[in-house]
Every structure is written in C-alpha cells, then in structure tokens.
Chain A
Amino acid sequence: MIRDPKDLQRYNASERANHWVVGISFILLALSGLAFFHPAFFPLTLLFGGPVWARILHPFIGVLMAVSFLGLFLRFRHLNKMTAADREWLGRAQEMVNGDDHDMPEQGKYNGGQKAMFWGSALCMLLLTVSGLLIWRAYFGFDITLVRLGAVVHAAVAAVMIALIMVHVYAAIWVKGTIRAMWYGTVTRAWAKQHHRAWYREVSGK
C-alpha cells in the first residue's frame, strides 16, 4: 500500500538497481582493498574466503564497479552540470552543515554539494580503474615505473573515494526522508520542496 500517491518519483527502478550494483561493489572493494592497504584491516580478507580469494576477487569486482558506475555516470551526467546557483550553494555550504539551511539558494534535482560529489567520484573512479589495471598482475605486465605509479595512485585515490562515499552515505542518513529515494524511488513533496525547490516546482508544476 502506498502511503501517499502524491509522493514524487525521484529514481526509477533501473536507476536504483544500477545504484545498488555500484554500492555493493564499492563496499566489497573498500573492504578488500583496505585489507591490502594497512595490516590493521587485513582480517577483513576473511569476509572474502581468505586473503588469496580477496586478492583474486578484488579486481573483478573492480571491473563490475567500473562498468556499473559508467552506467550511473551516463544516466545522471546531464543533471549534474554546475551552475552559478550551485557555486553559490557550495560557497555557503557551511551554513547547511551547521543545520541552518532555510535560506540556501534554491536547488534543482541536485545541489552543488551533490554535483561536486558526482564529479569527484567520477574522477576517482576513472583514476582507480586505470591505476587498477596497471597493478593487475595476474593479467597485465606493465613497465615497473607505471606499476609503481599505479600502486600509489590506486591507494591514494581509493582513500579519497572511501572518504567521499562516507560523506555521501552520511548525508543521506543526516537528511531525513532521503534514503527511501534509493530504496523504492519516491520522496515526499515536503522533502522536495525543502531541499530541491526548483526540482519540486518543475515536477509538481507549482
């Protein structure tokens, strides 16, 4: 039973499924990757059937994430073009973080922070894919300097990506009424009006 048929559709089923394929592969990659990065995380390899399996699986999951991320990128690219209003929003993000968001500039489907997250993770994903291929010894044998560069870039960018996704997940938890958009696709009209007023007007015609 739908609680309110007037709820707004934010994501369709295929977008949600795509997002979760990316999300699940990201979680698996972060857990297995951290295990190879610092010994403190090494026990995480047990989640993958042991350290050798973690080493074997990690790059294949990486390919899955790269392909599914490309899907998300192509779907949402046109909605993430930075505008003057976005830049203003970003300049005043501190007010938002402090919980004082009542006179932030009006935002479309995505605000400046979300757009920055989109481009930031896209760049990270590109760097991770390229550097990951460079260090995938089971199938590739690149020049040693490239492999060393790949190793350091892969580790550094992965740390940035994990931090970005932590912020992404936290933002969804912090802003109440958001997570349901990724579970079953809808948000309430009040949510839309408060956080994405321009988008609300566009879809509701008000």
Chain B
Amino acid sequence: MALQSLDIKQRSATTTPSTQARETVEIAKLIDVSACIGCKACTAACMEWNDIRGDVGNCVGVYDNPVDLSADAWTVMRFTETEQNGKLEWLIRKDGCLHCAEPACLKACPAPGAIIQYSNGIVDFHQENCIGCGYCVTACPFDVPRISEKDSKAYKCTMCSDRVAVNQAPACAKACPTGAIQFGAKEDMKDYADKRIADLQERGFDKAGLYDPQGVGGTHVMYVLHHADQPKLYANLPENPGISPMVSLWKGAAKPLATLALAGVALGSLFHYVTKGPNEVSKELEDEIEREDQEEGK
C-alpha cells in the first residue's frame, strides 16, 4: 500500500481496478507563462531535488539550455520570439510532463506498474518496473518521456510526488521567484487562473486563457497563456492534443479482440480434431501400394 496521499488510481498493464475507495483532492500545477522571467530557477530546483545532473552542454545561440528534455532534465525552458499585434514578444514556456488525466503513456505501457497515476492526478514512472521499450514515448502527445542512455529506463517529471505526498509543493513551484508556478488543488488553481486571465484581458491580451486540454481529459499541469487561441506559438504546444487514433487502436480494441481471435483459432483447432477426427492415410491406398510392390517383386 502506497501512502494514503498517494493512493493509486490507475496502473499500467493491469486489468483489474486499483484502489478506488478513498478520494483524495485532485492537485494541479499552474504555470503562468505571462509571469515567467525565464530565470530557470525551476530547472535548477528540479535537478537539485531529484538528484539529476545532465551534461552542462553548449550554448546553441539561444537561451534554451538544456536544449531539450532528457532523462536528466525533466523540465526545460523553451524560449520563442514572436511578433504579435506589431510588437515583439518573448514567450517563455516551462516544458515538462503535463500529467494528463487520461495518460497515453500509461495506456501504452506493457509493464505492470511501471506507470501509475495517483488519485491526486500525478502520473509517475516507477523505473524499477520499466522495461525500456519506449511505448510511453510512442504514445505521449506532448513528446515528454525520455529513455535514459545509462539504464534504458524512461524518465520524466514526477511532479515531485515525494514532496506532494507530504504536503509540500513541487521543487519548481517552491523555487519560482515570481509566482509564475502555483501549486494546489486543481479547482483552486482554476480559480487563480481565472483571476490572472481577467487581469491579462484587461491589459489587452483579449485571447488570454487557460490551457487544460480536454482531449487528454484535462491536465494536472496547466498553463495561463496570453494567446490561448494559438498554443503553437509557445514552442509548439499542441493545439488539440489527444491520444493518437493509432495508439488507441493498438492499445485499445486490438488487445481483447486479437486475444479472443487467437484463443478462438486454438480452441477451434482442438474441437475440429475432436469432432471431425484426424485426416489419415486410407488403408485402401496403403494396400494398393503394397500390392504394387509385391507385383514388382515377382
């Protein structure tokens, strides 16, 4: 049994229900992109708390560093320069796992218990059960999980589930100096977002809004965007993310149908044998060939 605050709601490759009786509060992290100054304190705090140290790397000519998510970088800042309404805008998005309510990674994962969703909404990878197949990478609509080159296990943001379990905010939220990362009950975060959005709209960002995509059942990391009508502006944040139909087919209907079909063929063969009997060489033909032999022998 996990901690009560970390009751498991869903478990990968498991066909029976996980703990359902207790109801814990659904939590969320709210990232207010309009308040982010790109200081990367969250990135540093993440590495510090989670004991992950990627290579220092090189400057690639822009502020992005680490350049991409990796097994050693569970959150990165993505910087975008864009012109909106005749003005230059510098958009900075903290990228990482969005902790979908309907996680495609969990649906695709073939290893029992390698991906779990807590009843508070956090989607966590349990690396000790991970087999390194990369199905989670294949399924994720946000391109978040990364397979480690050191141990071939999948890694991503845990929302600091160990901190959340004892009522602490994730390390990134704790470290953020501007309050751009808020953490709390999902409902409270939505209320807070409403205030921020109203404020942004007042300041001329008509299309300001909340990014809580319903195609994945909503997420437990939400963004306040000044241009919520154009999420693509923010380093290709998907507009209508959802589980790909190919992944749904592969890990949905195909599984029970193919299993039943194979069982049908196996049992069908058995019962064919039992009901129709074997197809044997006829005695008549055997005798005929024996006669021929005797005639030739004479």
A interface residues with partner B (beta carbon < 8 Å): 6, 35-40, 42, 45, 51-52, 54-55, 97-99, 101, 135, 137-138, 144, 147-149, 151-152, 155-156, 159, 162-163, 166-167, 170, 173-177, 188-191, 193-194, 206
* A39 lies within 8 A of B15 (CB): yes
The 6 A-B pairs of least Cβ separation, nearest first, read A137-B134, A159-B258, A170-B269, A39-B13, A152-B250, A36-B110
Choose one: A6, A40, A137, A159; the contact of B133 (CB below 8 Å). Answer: A137
* B289 lies within 8 A of A99 (CB): no
Q: Which of A39, A155, A175, A189 has the most chain B CB within a 10 Å cutoff?
A: A39
Chain B, 117-155, CB within 8 A of any chain A CB: 131-135, 137-139, 143, 147, 152
* A190 lies within 8 A of B133 (CB): no
Chain A interface main SS type: helix
Q: Which of A38, A40, A149 has the most chain B CB within a 10 Å cutoff?
A: A38
* A99 lies within 8 A of B279 (CB): yes
Question: Which residues of chain B come closer than 8 Å to A155, judged between CB atoms?
Answer: 250, 254, 258
* A194 lies within 8 A of B254 (CB): no
Question: Which residues of chain A come closer than 8 Å to B281, judged between CB atoms?
Answer: 176-177, 188, 190-191, 194
Distance in Å: Cβ of A128 to nearest Cβ of chain B: 14
A151 CA / B138 CA spacing, docked (Å)? 8
Distance in Å: Cβ of A127 to nearest Cβ of chain B: 14
Number of A-B residue pairs, CB cutoff 8 Å, is 122
* B14 lies within 8 A of A39 (CB): yes
* B147 lies within 8 A of A137 (CB): yes
- Which A residue sits closest to B280, measured CB to CB? A176
B286 on the interface (CB 8 Å rule)?
A: yes
- Which A residue sits closest to B279, measured CB to CB? A175
* B279 lies within 8 A of A174 (CB): yes
* A174 lies within 8 A of B131 (CB): no
Choose one: A151, A159, A176; the contact of B246 (CB below 8 Å). Answer: A151
- Cross-chain pairs A/B with CB under 8 angstroms, 6 sampled: A35-B110, A52-B131, A147-B138, A148-B138, A170-B272, A189-B289
Question: Which residues of chain B come closer than 8 Å to A194, judged between CB atoms?
Answer: 281-282, 285
Distance in Å: Cβ of B225 to nearest Cβ of chain A: 24
* A162 lies within 8 A of B279 (CB): no
